[in-house]
Amino acid sequence: MKRFTCLSILSALVLCALLAASGCSPSSGGKGAEPTSPNKPARVAKPGPYRIALVMKSLANEFFLTMQKGAEEDQKEHASEYTLICNGIKDEQDVAQQINLVEQMIAQKVDAIVIAPADSKALVGVCKRAQDADIVVVNIDNKFDDEVLKEKKIRIPFVGPDNRKGAQMAADFLASKLERDAPVAMLEGIPSAYNGQQRKLGFDDAIENAKLNLVTSQSASWEMDKANQVASSILTEHPEIQAILCANDSMALGAAAAVRAADKTGKVLICGYDGISAVEDLIRKGQILCTVQQYADRLAAFGIQYALQMLRAEIEPQDRETIVDLVTVGTLGPQ
């Protein structure tokens, strides 16, 4: 069995154990996320079986297809406990459609909504309406904005990784391959997504520590095509660039195509974030240096299991941190 597969299974098991333990400690101090008032103070246990809705972002992104598969597998394993409705939007920026999806789930009176919000602020209102309708809401993957949660006086637990830490891990590895002052560029996610902001900060930390020279940082909206265009123009305007740090894997794929087209594969290093299989292939081929595995398949399942615990009134809502791992040609091993 491949080394990385072993690692993944091990990490997933550790995560499962963490989340299965209802007494498990909350994520590192809540990071200033102290809610002003709890969702519904001591919930009364609801009898099952439950109807759970998973609301994702762009299903054009392999990350969310993997997430959906993981959720469906979890449902099969717990078929007597809940049924699952999976939803997603067509492109990364279709926030209105995601709000629409949540409205539909409220109208269908599901018991819980597990959501990876496309925007950290714009989805809070509709999730409050879900809570007001006595629906359990669990936030996964991309955290809601603390200020907006406070303003609306609601608490929505977050199950997901520390994106700043994860991004720094990838950028540290990339920086270890470069000299001080090396010129680099960054491709950011959608600016209104908290995880995108955190990944930028993580990249910044590593750039600062290694004293690299950040020449330009631009949003490519999480999208492969947009990243391809932005990276192509960066390579033309700044031919001295030695690396492109990408806040997700879709953008890393777009950047890798731009670097190939400029005949600079291996001369311009690329890092991504997600751990999708398409990027692992390019890491093996030497076209992308590294990515961060955030176990999309387990992420939704953890959120669902967490929602089930809330429905059974087994836990008080608290944030839970999930793990991330660096993926390089060394961790992947030979195919």
Site for ligand ALL contains 322 (CB under 6 A): no
Q: Under the criterion CB under 6 A, does residue 325 sit at the interface with ligand ALL?
A: no
Using alpha carbons, list the distances in angstroms from residue 76 to 15, 68, 73, 113. 19, 12, 5, 18
- Alpha-carbon distance of 119 to 57, in angstroms, equals 10
Give CA–CA dist 130/51, Å, rounded: 14
Question: Applying CB under 6 A, which of residues 98, 195, 305, 322 lies at the interface with ligand ALL?
Answer: 195
Work out which of 119, 274, 297, 325 binds ligand ALL, going by CB under 6 A. 274
Q: Taking the complex as a whole, how short is the minimal distance between the CB of residue 207 and ligand ALL, in angstroms?
A: 20
Closest separation in Å from C-beta 203 to ligand ALL: 13
Pick out residues in 198-237 that bind ligand ALL (CB under 6 A): 222
Question: Minimum CB separation from ligand ALL for residue 170, in Å?
Answer: 12
Among 63, 82, 173, 295, binds ligand ALL (CB under 6 A): 63
- Of the candidate spans 31-39, 53-61, 200-208, 324-332, the one that interacts with ligand ALL by CB under 6 A turns out to be 53-61
**Taking contact as CB under 6 A, which single stretch among the options 55-63, 122-130, 210-218, 302-310 is the one that binds ligand ALL?**
55-63
Q: Residue 250, interface with ligand ALL (CB under 6 A)? A: yes
The burial of 13, by beta-carbon neighbours within 10 Å (0-12 exposed, 13-18 middle, 19 or more buried), is given as: exposed
Exposure string of 235-263, with b = 16+ CB inside 10 Å and e = fewer, is beeeeebbbbbbbbbbbbbbbbbbbeebe
Q: Between residues 50 and 194, which has the closer beta carbon with respect to ligand ALL?
A: 194
For the chain, what is the total number of helices (H) and then of strands (E)?
12, 12
The residue to which tokens 């176990």 are assigned:
295
The residue to which tokens 């603390």 are assigned: 146
Q: How far is CA 224 from CA 60, 132, 165, 180, 255, in A?
A: 10, 37, 24, 29, 8
Residues in the site for ligand ALL, rule: CB under 6 A? 57-58, 61, 63, 92, 116, 141-142, 195, 222, 248, 250, 273-274
